[in-house]
């Protein structure tokens, strides 16, 4: 029995949270992927007898069926290193509404395919299974996320702010394989702001702007030029849409949980918070 992913679950007892059980995704000896629970705060038991609520995790054809009008990814892009195929993770497959989430992602990307912007992820279409289900989405590959470039230790916001001005200094690998250090400046965000405003002009709101969804791309000029690109559109919704009813997933702690509607201010406020996180400023803007 191989533990692929496990996590602790707690419950409130007499007003305090106490450990309740473990849950996880496991691979059995025959290769079958399952989800299960167990009572001890240790690795998963080796035998099924020590597990509870065992369920098979279905990963086949969990995306939506391909629709007329959706773009198909060219076959020669699939294994090209310049392109990235976004596929659901095993954790994603725990979501019963996975097909709906992917559909929202595709619909937003199809809008952008028709109305592209250099600071919004370039989408090349859907990867389709033999049974005509969407297995993944193909995008241009970018260098590294803002989170991984600036905060590789994944410090919380307050810890990250204590790093001082060096937090906006990033080390990148150019497309020709050479290394470059770049000091990010507020001016680097101008194109990203234009991209977000372009998205809003299409009647769409991203709703999950955070450092993990902002990519850095670098060219081979001297000195190298850095471009910021917004990715990940599965929380993108039309303006004024309920985020609760459409099950939009936003990243903690990069949004105001009191806001439950898709509003342009969601993106602009989050981007302002990213700028404070990176460059300093009014820390009262920081969520969480």
Question: In the numeric block, which tokens belong to residue 92?
Answer: 């994603």
Domain range summary for the chain, segments of one domain joined by +: 2-56, 75-140, 144-285
What average pLDDT does this structure show over 83-108? 94
Looking at the predicted structure, is the pLDDT value of residue 281 above 80? no
Residue 111, SS3 per DSSP: helix
Give per-residue pLDDT as tens, 105-120.
999 999 999 999 999 9
The residue among 194, 192, 186, 196 whose CA lies nearest residue 265 is 196
Give strand ranges (E) for 82-235.
Answer: 83-86, 123-128, 134-140, 144-145, 169-173, 179-183, 204-205, 214-218, 226-230
pLDDT confidence tier of residue 261, bands split at 50, 70 and 90 = very high
What average pLDDT does this structure show over 20-39? 92
Asked which of 33-37, 119-123, 178-182 is least confident by mean pLDDT, the reply is 178-182
Looking at the predicted structure, is the pLDDT value of residue 284 above 70? no
Sheet with 52-56: list strands edge to edge.
Answer: 2-13, 16-27, 33-38, 52-56
Looking at the predicted structure, is the pLDDT value of residue 151 above 70? yes
CATH number given to 144-285: 1.10.510
Query: Read out DSSP for 46-96?
Result: SSGGG-EEEEE---TT-SPBP-TTSPBPPGGGTT-TTEEEE---TTGGG-T
55 beta partners:
35
Q: How many CB atoms lie within 10 A of CB 159?
A: 11
244, burial (CB in 10 Å: exposed 0-12, middle 13-18, buried 19+)? exposed
120 beta partners:
230
Q: State the pTM of this model.
A: 0.89
């Amino acid at each position: 029995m191989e533990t692929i992913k496990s996590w602790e679950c707690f419950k409130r007892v007499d007003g305090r949270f106490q450990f309740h059980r473990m849950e996880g995704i496991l691979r059995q000896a025959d290769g079958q992927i399952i989800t299960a629970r167990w009572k001890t705060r240790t690795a998963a038991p080796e035998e099924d007898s020590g597990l509870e609520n065992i369920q098979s995790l279905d990963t086949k054809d969990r995306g939506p069926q391909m629709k007329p009008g959706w773009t198909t990814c060219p076959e020669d892009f699939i294994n090209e290193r310049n392109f990235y195929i976004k596929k659901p993770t095993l954790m994603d497959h725990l979501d019963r509404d996975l097909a709906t989430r992917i559909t929202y992602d595709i619909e937003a990307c199809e809008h952008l395919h028709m109305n592209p912007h250099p600071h919004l992820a370039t989408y090349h279409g859907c990867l389709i299974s033999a049974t005509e289900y969407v297995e993944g989405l193909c995008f241009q590959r970018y260098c590294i996320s803002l989170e991984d470039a600036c905060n590789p230790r994944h410090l919380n916001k307050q810890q990250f702010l204590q790093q001082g001005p060096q937090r906006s200094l990033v080390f990148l690998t150019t497309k020709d394989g050479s290394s470059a250090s770049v000091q990010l400046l507020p001016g680097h965000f101008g194109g990203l702001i234009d991209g977000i405003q372009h998205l809003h002009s299409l009647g769409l709101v991203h709703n999950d702007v955070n450092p993990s969804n902002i990519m850095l791309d670098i060219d081979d000029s001297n000195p190298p030029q850095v471009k910021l690109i917004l990715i990940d559109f599965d929380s993108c919704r039309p303006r004024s849409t309920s985020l609760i009813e459409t099950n939009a997933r936003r990243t903690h702690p990069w949004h105001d949980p009191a806001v439950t509607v898709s509003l342009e201010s969601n993106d602009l406020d989050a981007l302002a918070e990213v700028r404070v996180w990176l460059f300093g400023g009014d820390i009262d803007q920081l969520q969480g």
